[in-house]
Structures are given as C-alpha cells and as structure tokens.
Structure 1
Amino acid sequence: MPYATLADLVTRFGEQELIDQTDRASGTNVDATVVARVLDDAGATIDGYLTGRYALPLPSVPPLLVGLCCDLARYALYPDAAPDMVKDRHQNALRVLREIAAGTLQLGLATPASSGLAQMVSNPRLFARS
C-alpha cells in the first residue's frame, strides 16, 4: 500500500510545481511515471524506518505518514538544487521518522509487542571499554 498518491502531492504542493519538476520537455503535464518513482522511493525510505517497530504493510496509513511521504518525494523531484523550504521539510521528515523508529513518537498502530510478538527490553550498559 503506498503512503501517498499523486493527488496528495497536488493537494499539498500544487499541480504547477509538479509539472515544473516532472515534465522537463514540454512543461505542460505532470509526468505520472516520475511521480510514481519518487513516491515508491519515499515509501521504501519510510518502510526502512518502520520495519523494526511496526508490522508491514500497515493496515492503514496514518495522515502523518502521508505528509512525510509527500515531503520526501517532493525533495526527490529537485535533482539539482532544492529550495531551502523543501530541504527543511525533507530534514524534518527524516527527523520524525527517526523518532518513530526510536519509539519516542507513536503512530497509534499496533506494534509487534502489542500484537502478541515477543519483544526484548534491557537496561543500558553498565561497563564499557573506555
């Protein structure tokens, strides 16, 4: 299940921006193939962060992940130099994904521990070589 769609990108960032970043030849239409590729890449990035914490595929996509996927995909649409706002949103999306992976931010979905699977919990190290 994809985390975001072309329609989600259009809603958030406008059709003209997508046309500008995907149709370099004529500049008249959104190239759906390019958009699908960056959405797939963004989804793979999200899966990489979620895989240790949640059973994939998710039963439903939380709105938070839709926004994060859109921000990651939008950044990928700028191959040369993304505007500062796009870079900032990309960095924020990665920060939020790290928080989800660490467990400090919850999606409100069943985690492997709450779905009946075993989970290991331990105390921090007491001794180290240094």
Structure 2
Amino acid sequence: MTYAVKQDLVDRFGATELIQLTDRTNMPPSTIDNVVVGRALADADGVVDGYIGKQYKLPLSVVPPVLVKIAADLARYYLHGEAADKDSIVSRNFASAIAWLKDVSKGLVLIEEQGEPPEQAGGGAIKTSAPNRVFTRDTLRGY
C-alpha cells in the first residue's frame, strides 16, 4: 500500500529540495528523479506497514492523512541519507514519526479511519487436568 506519493513530497517540502536530493546526473540539478523518490517512498511504506501491521489488517481501506505525513517524513529522511544532520528538522521529524509508529504498534495510539483490526489468535477454552486431592475434609476427619 502506498501512503505518500511524489506530489505529497513536493507539496510538503518543495520541488527545489527534491531536485537537490534526487538529481544525480545533471549539474546543476534540474529535475526530480522519479526512481530515487519511488525507492524512498517504498522504503517508508515498508516501515509504516511493519509497525501498523501489528494492530491493523493490511492494506488499510482508507489512508488517513496522518499516515501520509508520517510516510513523507520517513521518505524525506531516506532521501537525505547520511547527509541528514542529527539536530536537523529532518532527523527530528523522522524520530518523531518512528516514536508515533511504535505507539501505534503497542496500541497506545489509534488510527482514525483505519481498516478493521486483525483477528486475535487463540479463542479456545483452557483445559487443565490434575490428580485427585489426597488430603480432603473426609480423609482428614478425626485428626
């Protein structure tokens, strides 16, 4: 399932940033490389699916706007790669997105407009067996 698309990245971060991050053939950079953007978006989708798949049945029937933002922040971080400064807004947004996804996977945060939750495992009755008691009221009578 795709949570964010190239246009979401352009709308949120601007075409200039995407051109600078993705155009590896032209000097100076002049176009957005769709392959590079697609790879970053696919990586982001995989991370999102990995976390929310623990609580929700995938694919979701409707993609909530919050997941578009989360996927866009993850993809932006992947596009920056090793050039992302630890204290930059890109790194902070990435860390925030991962923390939010962890909360979703633990069930602390619910996704609105989500698909149906997966069926829980098990559901059967618990059976136990033990030997008969040796010491009962009747066997200890008279002591």
For normalisation by structure 1, the TM-score amounts to: 0.85
- Give % identity: 41
Structure 2 residue aligned with 1:89: 93
Unaligned runs of 5+ in 2: 123-143
Total equivalences in the alignment: 117
Output one character per residue of 1:83-115: Cα deviation in whole Å (capped at 9) or x when no partner.
411000000000000011011110022322xxx
- Partners of 2:80 and 2:24 in 1: how far apart? 12
Structure 2 residue aligned with 1:19: 19
1:93 maps to a residue whose letter is: A
Output one character per residue of 1:39-80: Cα deviation in whole Å (capped at 9) or x when no partner.
000000000001111000111111000000000000000122
Instruction: Choose from 108, 111, 118 the match for 2:117.
Output: 111
Unaligned runs of 5+ in 1: 121-130
2:92 maps to a residue whose letter is: D
- Partners of 2:120 and 2:48 in 1: how far apart? 23
Query: 4+ residue runs of structure 1 moved beyond 2 angstroms?
Result: 117-120
Q: How does 1:23-42 map to 2 (within 5 A)?
A: 23-26=23-26, 27-42=29-44
Instruction: Choose from 78, 81, 100 the match for 1:79.
Output: 81
Output one character per residue of 1:10-67: Cα deviation in whole Å (capped at 9) or x when no partner.
0000000000000022100000010000000000000000111100011111100000
Structure ID, larger Rg: 2
For normalisation by structure 2, the TM-score amounts to: 0.77
- Partners of 1:21 and 1:59 in 2: how far apart? 32
- Partners of 1:52 and 1:89 in 2: how far apart? 22
